[in-house]
Structure 1
Amino acid sequence: MRNLLTAIVVIPLAGILILLAVANRTPVTLSLDPFTPDVSAYSIQLPLFLVILLAIMLGVIVGGIADWVRQGRYRREARHGRSEVRRLEKEAAELRRTSGNADNLPAPYMRGNGR
């Protein structure tokens, strides 16, 4: 099922990218100097499709980094929660071990058992 969904997305996307590259082969000048764009010292000639694809890739990378930074608080809370669970599991195991009447204590929570 996953391979079918991948094919449904990847094949049309690859076709669109190929059509974009074939239709936009004309070289354009990308100037990095806004004050004197005619001087070729800070400019480069690239095919238009490459400029478009590089801009899209840069946008995806910058967006991914911004999203990763914004979610840092949630990753930190998850790490704290996992360490708290480990600490409490150790404490419960120690109480069960040192208790003389372990039959009255509740069963330990086991991850992945459906609860």
Structure 2
Amino acid sequence: MSFRRLLTGLIGLPLALVLVLFAVANRGTVSVSFDPFSAEAPALAFDVPLFVVILLSVMLGVLVGGVAAWLRQGKWRKEAKTRRVEVTRLENENDRARRDVAVARAALPAPQKAA
């Protein structure tokens, strides 16, 4: 059994248990309305269990936070791409210079031994 599977089990199973207990404890229905003008007869309203509202809110928060972090890191991704291109260019230039040196050495006459 790998360490990753063990770690997933040690964190995932208790988390799943807490989520199930949370859902069972918060089964009461609440009315979710998307009509700010009419509280008595909203045009768009849903009756859903409280745990659904809370879990969806948490998921939406995680998603928005992830997108915000990804967008903030854009300049670093661009910088990394620029550096990768530059490294590739320099590696190619280095290989070309090594080949040129090898060709130049092969063209030189062999050194004469002193008598």
**Superposition TM-score, scaled by structure 1 size:** 0.83
Q: List alignment gaps of at least 5 residues for structure 1.
A: 103-115
Runs (4 or more) in structure 1 with deviation over 2 Å come to: none
Alignment of 1:6-85 (within 5 A): 6-85=8-87
In 2, Cα distance between the equivalents of 1:6 and 1:101? 59
Larger Rg: 2
Match of 2:100 among 73, 77, 98: 98
Question: RMSD in angstroms over aligned alpha carbons?
Answer: 1.3
Q: Which moved more, 1:36-45 or 1:55-64?
A: 36-45
2:30 and 2:105 map into 1 onto residues whose CA distance is 81
Structure 2 unaligned residues grouped into runs of 5+: 107-115
How many residue pairs align between the two structures? 102
Residue 88 of structure 1: which of 75, 90, 96 is its match?
A: 90
TM-superposed deviation, 1:37: 1.8
Give aligned-pair identity as a percent: 51
Cα deviation for residue 33 of structure 1 reads 1.6
